[in-house]
Structure 1
Amino acid sequence: MPAEQLRETAEAIVGNIERVIEGKPAIVRLALAVLLAEGHLLIEDVPGVGKTKLAKALARSIDCSVRRIQFTPDLLPSDVTGVSVYNQENRDFEFKPGAVFANLVVGDEINRASPKTQSALLECMEERQVTVDGTTFRLQTPFMVIATQNPIEMEGTYPLPEAQRDRFTARIAMGYPSPDAELTMLDLHGAGDPLDELSPVSDADTIRRLIATVRRVHVSEPLKQYAVDIVATTRQSPDLRLGASPRAGLQLLRTARAVAALEGRDYVTPDDLQALVVPVLAHRVIPTPEAQLARRTTDAIVADLVRRIPVPGARPGDGRGHWQG
């Protein structure tokens, strides 16, 4: 797909979502970038700030199959993946697909389910397949899990296991809207839900072509080394007892390709990587007890580490880089 067509389609999707989510353009674009990077998105924040609305708006902007899972303490893994049921007529077992068999899966309040049920998504998210009773079923393409969660200190929540967090390409926080955006929300949402009037502006076939275009975005060798340096630095930090995984570096590059494509470029710059370091890496690392006592967040630790790494193409004394290609 030509770069101009990709950008037009992306702007149409972003504009559609912004009819529902006011004042959050960077978050909306990052959500779309994760989709085009073939990743999964974790939206974390307090109740009532629009986490589920963002997930639903993205799903409704694309004409494809969408399933929603409301995670609760009594949700079973088979509710997510599916189950084999005995058919009396055929006298054989037949597979009944679970909610994960869709292009976009919206998981609401994922950390209110037990760790056993949360783990049912591990194979789906990484290998895009489901194995039930020894039989493997492939999932559709595109496939994206958009999960929302409340802060873990809230009542009735379970922390996501490290392996689960590592499968989410990025984590974002909605934050409270600005006073102007909140006022606009009262005007637009007061008489009804704008989600009800949202129509698709793209489809699954188009998204597949967009993904293929994103895969061809160029990443130079110095930038690949820069990504490796960023990930390696998290493993050496005295403030972190668990650094970022190799999967984290791979997803950092994939998302940077998508961000570059959304901006109409066919190459990635250091700025693309730097802008993505916190949303892509911070949720994967674990701080030391000392860092927790000092109230240092993983966002702050990761952002501080990146500032110390030399940028490819930087001139001495710049502090930042002038990209040399």
Structure 2
Amino acid sequence: MTDELRQRLRAVRTEVGKAVVGQDGAVTGLIIALLARGHVLLEGVPGVAKTLLVRTLSHALELDTKRVQFTPDLMPGDVTGSMIYEGGSFVFREGPVFTNILLADEINRTPPKTQSALLEAMEERQVSVDGQTRRLPAPFLVAATMNPIEYEGTYTLPEAQLDRFLLKLVLDVPPRDTEFEVLRRHAAGFNPRDLTAAGVRPVLGQAHLAEAQASVSRVGASDDVIGYTVDLARATRSSPSVKLGVSPRGSTALLAAAKAWAWLQGFDSVTPDHVQDMALPVLRHRIQLRPEAELEGVSVDAILRSILAQVQVPI
């Protein structure tokens, strides 16, 4: 059954590819986040198919998805839901967070008060309104998008919220051949708002996804691999270019993502290679550089690659 689940998830990537061209790494990252019960931050300039990617993945997985456009005037109740007076009494009206995949579009355009409305949902899979706690559907994943170029009218995401994203995936502008294929599909009549017409089929339901998540939780990790994961996280805290290194939640997230990646590749236990493969997407948003390092043009990814080269790998 485990092999069949892996095959179905490979088929999901094939289905997403019918609508989204050239973002295989982002598709894999979203699948890893679902398997590890995490959330994803998607960073890229407008027009690189971030929204289409999330919608298509939801369709292929038969998961409910809702989109929220984060704006400066968005209120917490617009996301979580609120009490309204109806029929002579107050009743709770669910917000868009009550879904399987919440697409938080341009999450950094809303004030911290509204951003913080997602903290409980992301960590506890529940929301508390009017003194009552309500569970969110399972699975639940927040896929938040950010524009890395535009700073006017945006707010910095709090460290507490950044730390709750399992992965930060960077979607680059595609190369020429990929962009050519995108235009060729549109010239042939591709409609991104009609995924069924594009041939995208649901290939994995919620029950199968829950089985896959359970299988991932059984993937083993030796003490050497756990120690290696801890050493990588600790190395970020002692780097001279880093003001704030990776927290213990970050090292836990790195191991969880490595287990999901190992399972996808057919392994029963995590190897150092799996940890290394997931280090950049799991850790890059959990590090704050010192101002002098930023002025020198040092990137977080470059620091992480240097740490990966320096920390001793267990044999």
| TM, length-normalised to structure 2 | 0.95
Does structure 1 conserve the Cα–Cα contact (< 8 Å) formed by 2:232 and 2:308? yes
Question: 1:29 aligns to what?
Answer: 28
**Pair 1:53 & 2:52 matched:** yes
Relative to structure 2, which stretch is displaced further, 47-56 or 124-133?
47-56
Identity %: 45
| 1:114-150 alpha-carbon deviations (Å, 9 max, x no partner) | 1111111001001111011111111111110111111
Task: Tell me the alpha carbon deviations over residues 267-287 of structure 1, each in whole angstroms, 9 at most, x when there is no partner.
Answer: 111111111111100111100
Shift of 1:152: 5.7
Cα distance in 1, alignment partners of residues 259 and 293 from structure 2: 33
CA distance in 1, matches of 2:227, 2:141: 28
- The match for 1:297 is 299
Offset of residue 294 of structure 1: 0.7
How much has 1:87 moved relative to structure 2?
3.1
Per the alignment, do residues 195 and 224 of structure 1 end up closer, same or farther by CA in structure 2, a change over 3 Å counting? Answer: farther
Aligned to 1:186: 183
The answer (yes or no) to whether the contact 1:20–1:194 under 8 Å persists in 2 is: yes
SS at match of 1:175: coil
* 2:163 corresponds to: 166
CA distance in 1, matches of 2:48, 2:30: 16
Runs (4 or more) in structure 1 with deviation over 6 Å come to none
Secondary structure of the corresponding residue to residue 202 of structure 1:
coil
Where does residue 41 of structure 2 map in the other structure? 42
Alignment correspondent of 1:140:
137
Q: Which amino acid aligns with 1:193?
A: N
The alignment partner of 1:121 has SS state of helix
Is the Cα contact below 8 Å between 2:20 and 2:52 reproduced in 1? yes
Secondary structure of the equivalent of 1:283?
helix
Counterpart amino acid of 1:299? D
Give yes or no for the alignment of 1:263 onto 2:265.
yes
Whether the aligned pair in 1 keeps the contact of 2:50 and 2:145 (CA below 8 Å) is yes
TM-score with structure 1 setting the length: 0.92
CA gap of 1:260–1:195, structure 2 versus 1, over 3 A, is farther
- What is the total number of aligned residue pairs between the two structures? 310
- 1:61 is paired with a residue whose SS is helix
Instruction: State the Cα distance separating 1:8 from its structure 2 match.
Output: 0.7
* CA distance 1:185–1:152, shift in 2 (3 Å): closer
Where do residues 93-104 of structure 1 align in structure 2 (5 Å cutoff)? Answer: 93-104=90-101
> Which is further off, 15-24 or 280-289?
15-24
- Aligned-pair RMSD on alpha carbons? 1.3
Pick from 205, 210, 213 the counterpart of residue 212 of structure 2.
210
Q: Please say if residues 152 and 159 of structure 1, whose CA atoms lie closer than 8 Å, have aligned partners that are also in contact.
A: no
Please state whether the residue corresponding to 1:52 is helix, strand or coil.
helix
* Partner Cα distance (1:193, 1:39) in 2: 30
Which amino acid in 2 is paired with 1:82?
Answer: G
CA contact (8 A) 1:13 1:61 kept: yes
Q: 1:117 aligns with which of 114, 136, 139?
A: 114
Q: Residue deviations 1:28-72, cap 9 Å, x none?
A: 212211111100010001111111111111112111221111111
Q: Which amino acid is 1:203 matched to?
A: G
1:209-259 deviation line (CA, Å, top 9, x unaligned): 110111111111100111111111111111111111111111111111111
5+ residue gaps, structure 1: 314-325
Once residues 64 and 51 of structure 1 are traced to their aligned partners in structure 2, the CA distance between those partners, rounded to angstroms, is 17
CA contact (8 A) 1:83 1:95 kept: yes
> What's the offset of the Cα at 1:293?
0.9
Aligned to 1:275, what secondary structure does the other structure show? helix
Instruction: After TM superposition, give the deviation of residue 155 of structure 1 in Å.
Output: 2.7
AA at the equivalent of 2:286: R
CA distance in 1, matches of 2:84, 2:249: 36
Query: Match of 1:317?
Result: none
Distance 1:304 1:3 in 2: 36
CA contact (8 A) 1:150 1:157 kept: no
